[in-house]
Structure 1
Amino acid sequence: MTSTVADPQTARGQILAWGLWDWGSAAFNAVATTFVFTVYITGQAFGEEAAVSAQLGWALGLAGIVVLLIAPVTGQRSDTSGRRKLWLAVNTAVVVACLALMYLVQPSPDYLLLGLILLAVGTVFFEIAGVNYNAMLAQISTRNTVGRVSGFGWGMGYIGGIVLLLIVYFGFIKPEVGLFGVTSEDGLAVRVSMVIAALWFAVFALPVLFAIPELPVTDAAKRARVGFIQSYAVLGKDIARLWKTSRQTVYFLLASAVFRDGLTGVFTFGGVLAAGTFGFSPGDVIIFAIAANVVAGISTISVGYLDDRLGAKPVIITALIGLVISGTLVFLLHDGGTVVFWIFGLALCLFVGPAQSASRTFLSRLIPAGREGEVFGLYATTGRAATFLAPTAFALFVTIGGEQYWGILGIVLVLLIGLLLLTPVKAKQDQLS
């Protein structure tokens, strides 16, 4: 992996600009898909809770299939076109537009479809933007610094989530009359929060577009350009070549797809469990979310230095073991109420960020110059291919146990399987050719 950074001062500026995109992305991750908008549209105003939740699942599942089909091809094409930054800008702009349009979703069943469409479209374009964003990691870091740079980016995302959640919670959602005279009538507090989220992402996505130059297109990349449909034939050949030249990379992509879905499940169902099993109010859930982001952000930034010193695999293995133990304790001690969830729920968050960040750096160290978008596209694809695992396991264990807290074991099982798949993967692999 090479770096295009000219000097330390430029490096710091480009890393900060790159991290600010992650900071801004909390608008979609924390506010839209986790703690605010999805909670809003699964409320009673939109219909029967179970039915609406199922429709949400189908909408996001369909979005996942779209990403599964197009992520590697779009990444490959960004590598050969020399327009990685341009497509990051375009995809980010679509996500910002979806966030802003969520203002139109009033608390009525008539607006449910619009809300689901905006979430699904936003999810697709957010994931594709992430392919180009992750590929930029090689431009602003070296093999010796990639761990701390990646950790900085993830940490910025968590901290950005903290700040934005504080703004929307204390500015609009908690007060009877919030900023600008906004109240909860007609869902206005949530709807205005989505406009704030859109502005937040738009502002903090700009620095990376100015600070990091577009990579020049090599002659080899120019020769590799093909039409969109032909890109899939190229993709098939690339996967076959990857299998022949670096099977450990393929093994890692598969293992990470499983444990990354378990990591997503920790946050996806954390709020549901807090409210349903441990008695948190909606406001308490947001407060917990803020604390969770604090813990995850600090641990992710700190562990980035260990990643560079010890390697990514020991970090991921340790984090997954910590997650399995903490999740099991949440299940076994669930009768302890809110105190148990505060302690071991935050323990889960302590390990989630480092596992996410180290997974990205593990892969980044393997990718040769010029194929970042392609391989991170596969990274997005394999991750999306497994997105059914945590929700299905959660639902299955709830059905078996008859109580919501049994779903915790489903998430723990997914994390454990990911851990077992990762264990035999060699940490030092041959470079792709």
Structure 2
Amino acid sequence: MGHPAAEAPGDVAVEPAPDTRQIAAWAAWDWGSAAFNAVVTTFVFTVWLTGSSFAEPGADTDAVTALHSQWLGWGLAAAGILVALTAPALGTLADAGGRRRPMLAVSSAVVGASMLALWFVQPAEGGMADAVRLGVTLLAVGTIAFEIGSVAYNALLLQISGPRTIGRISGIGWGAGYVGGIVLLVVLYVGFIQPDVGWFGVTSEGGLDVRVSMLIAGVWFLAFAVPVLVMVPDRRRQGAPPARVGIVGAYAAVGRHIAHLWREQRSTLRFLVASAVFRDGLTGVFTFGGVLAAGSYGFSPDEVIVFAIAANIVAGASTIGAGWLDDRYGPRRLVTWALVVLILAGSAVFLLHDAGKSAFWAGGLVLCACVGPAQSASRGLLARLAEPGRETELFGLYATTGRAATFLAPAAFSIAIGVGGEQYWGILGIVVVLVAGLVLFAPVRFPRGLGVDGRRDVTAAVR
């Protein structure tokens, strides 16, 4: 079974120079997304939501922390299931009319609104459980909108890059997200979270420091979502008719595309399944990292922020650097080695939990150094596999399969806590998901001539 892209070397050879302004505008969305990924779901809000601030007076703090962590896990798992049910139709509808920017705009607005609404999550005696449920609900809504927006955002990558530069540009985007996380975390830490009395007289009374931080994070996300909507135009698939596609038709189109992949590009279909599993494990590393640092390894809220800053520095540098390795040696090798190191480092953090903070610092930074490169290389690998003219459609399916597995890491995290009886067992659940992803990915074989095995592969195709 051949791959059309591999059989058209002329298409690979002709690659215009990328537009640096469009690259910067596109990467700005990733920069702003750190407000949701780093501040809300990883290092600030979820740590506060699952911590002692929401324990009723006299309650067993450890038990409450474990319970609220499970609620968080199940809430994010439910969000993943809803994304899996809606992303296929929304992605196909946007692709049919070349309407990726409107889809990205609406999704970004919902994410920003859900972040701003976190202001209303406030600990109050007698209503702690209700406050946590509100927080988990808003997180779930934001997660759904963020993941749907990412479908359109990832598809726009293919309009600003080519086979020889996609690894670097993808890495710049992921790296910008980590650097943006550093900047925003420093601002919030110095201005509101660390001092007893922060800027504008903000204190920790009633979680005011965290709630104000959520307002700033929401504005940050919305502001940096604007450039890509202005600078990167939609491009309808060449030759695609401007036909209207209904919901039923959208799902039918997805089914036809899957059947086509099964007949003609089975390796691509296998990659979609494998990446759905290991990408959810990668997401779980950052989603539950801050919660574990505070709940199982004795980090104070201030120490969680310091670790978050260090983690984002390491992740940003490694992801940008790995983009060059991606283009030179190929995304398949990069993904494989990143997953192997992640599994080893995660297992070490679990086994050495009695060592406390030092074990989490060492293992956690190694994990952070591998997550971004694996995510970026996975995105670049799929772009190389896409048939000319069907790139956006394939990225919609990428999101569909990915969201179909979104419940795996949160569910494994919660189940592992239930089995082990302590929060740190959640690490083992995430490791299991990464192992499953690697087992599915390792045997996949890809067509030659697409750059999956590095620059020499692309060169061989164009000669």
TM-score relative to the length of structure 2: 0.86
Deviation (angstroms), 1:64: 1.2
Conserved 8 A contact 2:268-2:446? no
Which structure has the highest helix share of the two? Answer: 1
Alignment of 1:319 onto 2:335:
no
Which residue number corresponds to residue 118 of structure 1? 138
Task: Decide which of 63, 77, 83 is 2:99's aligned counterpart.
Answer: 83
- 1:245 deviates by 1.6
The equivalent residue for 2:349 is 330
Matches within 5 A, 1:398-413: 398-413=417-432
Shift of 1:307: 0.5
Asked whether the 8 Å contact 2:76–2:407 carries over to 1, the reply is no
Specify the alignment match of 1:283 in structure 2.
302
For the Cα contact (< 8 Å) 1:79–1:371, is it kept in 2? Answer: no
2:96 is aligned with what amino acid? T
Cα distance change on mapping 1:404 and 1:65 into 2, 3 Å? closer
Residues 376-403 of structure 1 deviation map (CA, whole Å, 9 limit, x = unaligned): 2222222222223323433444455454
Distance 1:252 1:216, change over 3 A: closer
CA distance in 1 between counterparts of 2:158 and 2:279 reads 21
3-state SS of 2:105 partner: helix
Q: Against the structure 1 CA distance between its residues 370 and 221, is the aligned structure 2 distance closer, same or farther, given a 3 Å change threshold?
A: farther
Give the deviation of 1:113 after TM superposition: 4.0
Segment of structure 1 superposing worse, 37-46 or 115-124? 37-46
1:219/1:316 Cα in 2 relative to 1: closer, same or farther (>3 Å)?
Answer: closer
1:16 corresponds to 2:13: no
TM-score normalised according to structure 1 size: 0.92
Preserved contact between residue 161 and residue 290 of structure 1 (Cα < 8 Å): yes
CA offsets per residue over residues 217-270 of structure 1, 9 Å max, x none?
A: 6452324x3212321122212211221121111100111111112112222232
Choose 164-173 or 366-375, whichever is displaced more: 366-375
For the pair 1:26 / 2:26, whether they are aligned, the reply is no
Match of 2:265 in 1: 246
Tell me: CA distance 1:105–1:321, structure 2 relative to 1, closer, same or farther (3 Å): same
State how 1:19-418 maps to structure 2 within 5 Å. 19-46=27-54, 48-108=64-124, 109=127, 110-216=130-236, 218-223=238-243, 225-418=244-437
Shift of 1:151: 0.5
**1 CA distance for matches of 2:333 and 2:15?**
31
Report the CA distance shift for 1:267/1:350 in structure 2 as closer, same or farther (over 3 A). Answer: same
Larger deviation, residues 100-109 vs 280-289: 100-109
- The one-letter code matched in structure 2 to 1:19 is A
Ranges in structure 2 where 5+ consecutive residues have no aligned partner: 6-10, 56-63, 451-463
Distance 1:102 1:429, change over 3 A: farther
Give the superposition deviation at 1:42. Answer: 2.7
CA distance in 2: counterparts of 1:328 and 1:349, whole angstroms: 14
Contact kept in structure 1, 2:32 and 2:222, CA below 8 Å: yes
Q: Which runs of 5+ in 1 are unaligned?
A: none
The reply on whether 1:424 has 2:432 as its aligned counterpart is no
What code does the residue aligned with 1:298 have? A
Contact 1:79 1:372 survives alignment (8 Å)? no
Post-superposition CA distance 1:74-122 (Å, at most 9, x none): 1111111122112211211111111112222222334444333322221
Alpha-carbon shift at residue 66 of structure 1 (Å): 1.4
The superposition leaves residues 338-357 of structure 1 with CA deviations (integer Å, 9 ceiling, x where unpaired) of 22221121111111111111
CA contact (8 A) 1:76 1:371 kept: no
Residues 229 and 294 (structure 1 numbering): CA distance in 2 closer, same or farther, change over 3 Å?
same
What amino acid is aligned across from residue 426 of structure 1 in structure 2? R
Tell me if structure 2 keeps the 8 A contact 1:31–1:37: yes
- Deviation larger for 214-223 or 370-379: 214-223
Return closer, same or farther for 1:329/1:367 CA change in 2, 3 Å cut-off: same
Q: How many residues align?
A: 428
Cα offset, 1:365, TM superposition: 0.9
After TM superposition, the structure 1 stretch with the greater mean CA deviation from structure 2, 84-93 or 20-29, is 84-93
